Structure 1
Amino acid sequence: MSDLQISLLIIGAVVVGGVYLFNWAQERKFRRKLGQAFDVERDDVLLGTAAKRGGRVEPQMSWADATAASQAVTDEAEPAMASAAHEPAPEPAFDAAIEYVAGIERAAPIPEAAIDELLTRTAACGKPCRVAGLRVETGQWEELARAGGDHYAALALALQLVNRTGPVNAAQLAMFCDAIRNSASKISAVASCPDTQAALKAARELDEFCAEVDVAIGVNIIAMDGQTFPGTRIRTLAESAGFKLEPDGLFHFRNEQRQTLFTLDNHEPAPFLPEQINSLSTSGITLLLDVPRVVDGPAVLDRMFDVGRNLAQALGGRLVDDNRVVLNEAGIARIRQQLGEICSRMEAFGISAGGARALRLFS
């Protein structure tokens, strides 16, 4: 090998090493910015006992709060553009307690086609995903449902760790990170994907707790002496009590904010479909309260039992539990106590029943 060839090999090695070090430094720099913007502390994600979590502030930050820490991304991406004076519309916060937050940063605006492709790929990862973009013109974070043009210098992407289908698994998280890294490599951007093993561990532990408190309280109204309740009668009484029959085959009892407090269902397998209920008859109906998704569960429980008593009286049925044991006041008091204990456990764990976090986890 000639001296010239050896020199060229040395120069090539130096160049490759320099590029690697530059990309490594850029990724570390962006990861610090992303952590500052969204307060991503994976070691503190709803782990341990409630006592250990007592003094912890939940790692949440709104898009507006993220601006100060992330403004440098916009300044580096488009130094010639001044920030607009108007305030951004308020958006929901990323929640690092229940989401894995990753990101992409680019020196120039990220192409719309790249954003659109990334949104499509991350939406197919098997868990709910949210995306925010740092808008070049304003220096503000905006939640993105679709690409919306070449206006963003950075993206933050959050994959939910747990829902009612279970915890995120290694394949889903790898698919999410691969989509982000592949997108970044195509457009000469820097990708940041935090430790996935810590996220998987947090997801498993969070899912274990959610499974323990994922309780529904049901009460049945059963026809007596082998009789049945006609569907027309059920619908009339349910609607007069405040229920509305919806496409899922359930009567929903909602509050002023249109949130479901409890439902009324057929005790038999057939759902209450609008086009069939008039010709339907059933041996019983069931009132159901989805505990993790309801604010002030004990009060809602009392309301559900009041409605149940009235329906039982009007239909000529009996109010019973799932073992067909007639419910008396002592039995209802025990159920109320158990419900209160579940709600207290959720509150101590940082997941208020019926709160935004609970509605996302228990969906």
Structure 2
Amino acid sequence: MDELQFALIGAGVSVLLGVIIYNAWQHIKIRRALPRSLPTTELKQKEHIEEIVDEIALLNPVQTSLQPQAYMQCDEAAKEATLSSTSATNSPADPTSHLLTNANRNPKPRSIIDHRIDCIVPLHLSAPIVAEKLIPLAQRLRRAGNKPIFIEGKASANSASWQNLQPGDRYQALCIAVQLANRSGPLNELEFSEFITGAQTLADALDAELECPDMTATVAIARELDAFAAQCDVQLSINATSDGAPWSAQYIQTIATQDGLLLSRDGTRFIKLDAQQNPIFMLQFNNINFLRDDLTFKGGQNITFLFDVPAADEEAFPFRLMCNYATSLSQRIGAHLTDDKQRALSAAELAAIEQQLITLYAKLEAAQIPAGSPLARRLFI
């Protein structure tokens, strides 16, 4: 090699070392600004779930029809948390989960269809039908627009018990149903027509007679249900705001994991589940994705706790559990509770909000759709 080549190699090595040293310096500089050391006290376990409103206005009815985005977040939280948990053992969240593929999985499949939130259409069979013939046809009918479709059968025409379709069974009677409302809004004329078209196709394939309901009456019932649900569709949130320097995302992830919260499948929130693997409340931190973002460099000064009122079981006292956990966490990490406008929240204000929830719970009970019940989780999804 001549002197020129040596000079070029030396220059390249110098530039490379300079870049490495500069990046290392930047890394150290940011780490000093964000992370804190973890407290050494043992972390307690409590809970979390969804959406942001104002302090006293927290309980005002949702203005738009069933808030599609809020509904979607709650549903995703339930699905993702169940998938993330190693102890989850219940059925999938797909609308066709009633179409079981393993006869031993649920020896006595329960009924899903309910007249309170479904439009139910009987199918009169000319002869009994085996599940193996019915299930492939039923799997084609999953949704009408944004509304799930369910099909159930009776082993005896005189039986009062409907059940989900299961391989190995033989059915004397069938019914098909479409959900009347969810957070995408009420069943509309187009969705109703799509449902009836699919139901008629199934009836023709089974040589069965379909009892078609009146579209105008059905759509009117769907709108009434949607209006009721809009009055009960409340999401509450509180924040833990730092008393000093911001926290790093890595620090928050460590705390949430040690406190027993499960990371959602999309990585955007941590979820606290009850004993039945249903969400109680959620924790979000500065719109950070804990799977994709660099947790060392990302940070913030606000942790948000979210609680979806109709989707969480009232008997678990979800709002109280969320507040207790938020208070405990704030004491451990140096923070105070605030509303969405960064105003401090006192224990008395939180207790007043919890008292106001009693009215909402009573309204859901009166409609026979109690908070946290399977019907409520279907309606508010």
Q: State whether TM-score is above 0.5.
A: yes
Give the superposition deviation at 1:133. Answer: 2.5
Quick check: 1:170–1:200 contact (8 Å CA) kept in 2?
yes
- 1:253 corresponds to which residue? 272
Provide the C-alpha distance between the structure 2 equivalents of 1:351 and 1:137, rounded to a whole number of angstroms: 29
Q: Does 1:337 align with 2:355?
A: yes
SS in 1 for 2:317: helix
- Offset from partner CA, 1:63-111 (integer Å, 9 cap, x none): xxxxxxxxxxxxxxxxxxxxxxxxx715134211110011322223448
Match of 2:192 among 157, 173, 176: 173
Q: What is the count of residue pairs matched by the alignment?
A: 272
Provide the C-alpha distance between the structure 1 equivalents of 2:342 and 2:290, rounded to a whole number of angstroms: 22
Which letter maps to 1:216?
Q
SS in 2 for 1:236: helix
Match of 1:161 among 175, 180, 186: 180
Moved more, 212-221 or 129-138: 129-138
Provide the C-alpha distance between the structure 1 equivalents of 2:185 and 2:199, rounded to a whole number of angstroms: 23
- 1:264 corresponds to which residue? 283
SS in 2 for 1:128: strand
- 1:121 corresponds to which residue? 141
- 1:326 corresponds to which residue? 344
Going from structure 1 to structure 2, the CA distance change for 1:246 and 1:150 (only over 3 Å counts) comes to: closer
Which letter maps to 2:201?
N
SS in 2 for 1:326: coil
Q: Percent identity?
A: 32
Provide the C-alpha distance between the structure 1 equivalents of 2:149 and 2:373, rounded to a whole number of angstroms: 19
Provide the C-alpha distance between the structure 1 equivalents of 2:344 and 2:108, rounded to a whole number of angstroms: 52
Q: Does 1:133 align with 2:133?
A: no
Provide the C-alpha distance between the structure 2 equivalents of 1:256 and 1:115, rounded to a whole number of angstroms: 32
* Larger relative contact order (Cα-Cα within 8 Å, sequence gap ≥ 6): 2
Superposed, which structure 2 residues align to 1:76-95 within 5 Å? 89-95=108-114
- 1:210 corresponds to which residue? 229
Give the superposition deviation at 1:340. Answer: 1.8
Quick check: 1:109–1:150 contact (8 Å CA) kept in 2?
no
- Offset from partner CA, 1:207-257 (integer Å, 9 cap, x none): 1111111111111112245x3111222122223333222213211111222
Moved more, 204-213 or 177-186: 177-186
Which letter maps to 1:319?
L
Give the superposition deviation at 1:198. Answer: 1.8
SS in 2 for 1:120: coil
Quick check: 1:127–1:159 contact (8 Å CA) kept in 2?
yes
Structure 2 unaligned spans of 5+:
1-106
- 2:165 corresponds to which residue? 144
Give the superposition deviation at 1:135. Answer: 4.0
Provide the C-alpha distance between the structure 1 equivalents of 2:316 and 2:153, rounded to a whole number of angstroms: 41
SS in 2 for 1:273: coil
Provide the C-alpha distance between the structure 2 equivalents of 1:313 and 1:152, rounded to a whole number of angstroms: 59
Quick check: 1:91–1:142 contact (8 Å CA) kept in 2?
yes
Going from structure 1 to structure 2, the CA distance change for 1:187 and 1:339 (only over 3 Å counts) comes to: closer
Quick check: 1:265–1:271 contact (8 Å CA) kept in 2?
no
Q: TM-score, normalised by structure 2?
A: 0.64
Q: Does 1:196 align with 2:215?
A: yes
Q: Does 1:313 align with 2:313?
A: no
Q: Does 1:288 align with 2:288?
A: no
- 1:74 corresponds to which residue? none
Provide the C-alpha distance between the structure 2 equivalents of 1:193 and 1:214, rounded to a whole number of angstroms: 31
RMSD: 2.8
Give the superposition deviation at 1:259. Answer: 1.6
SS in 1 for 2:364: helix
- 2:370 corresponds to which residue? 352
Give the superposition deviation at 1:301. Answer: 1.6
Which letter maps to 1:116?
P
Provide the C-alpha distance between the structure 1 equivalents of 2:135 and 2:314, rounded to a whole number of angstroms: 41
Quick check: 1:118–1:180 contact (8 Å CA) kept in 2?
no
Which letter maps to 1:190?
E
The structure richer in helix per residue is 1
- Offset from partner CA, 1:273-327 (integer Å, 9 cap, x none): 3774455312211011110011227832222111111211222222100111001
Which letter maps to 1:273?
L
Going from structure 1 to structure 2, the CA distance change for 1:255 and 1:183 (only over 3 Å counts) comes to: closer
Going from structure 1 to structure 2, the CA distance change for 1:278 and 1:254 (only over 3 Å counts) comes to: farther
- Offset from partner CA, 1:312-349 (integer Å, 9 cap, x none): 12222221001110011221122112222211221122
- 2:20 corresponds to which residue? none
Provide the C-alpha distance between the structure 2 equivalents of 1:338 and 1:272, rounded to a whole number of angstroms: 34
Quick check: 1:292–1:358 contact (8 Å CA) kept in 2?
yes
Going from structure 1 to structure 2, the CA distance change for 1:247 and 1:115 (only over 3 Å counts) comes to: closer
Quick check: 1:294–1:354 contact (8 Å CA) kept in 2?
yes
Moved more, 88-97 or 340-349: 88-97
Provide the C-alpha distance between the structure 1 equivalents of 2:356 and 2:316, rounded to a whole number of angstroms: 10
- 1:303 corresponds to which residue? 321
Provide the C-alpha distance between the structure 2 equivalents of 1:205 and 1:221, rounded to a whole number of angstroms: 38
Going from structure 1 to structure 2, the CA distance change for 1:342 and 1:187 (only over 3 Å counts) comes to: closer
Give the superposition deviation at 1:151. Answer: 3.9
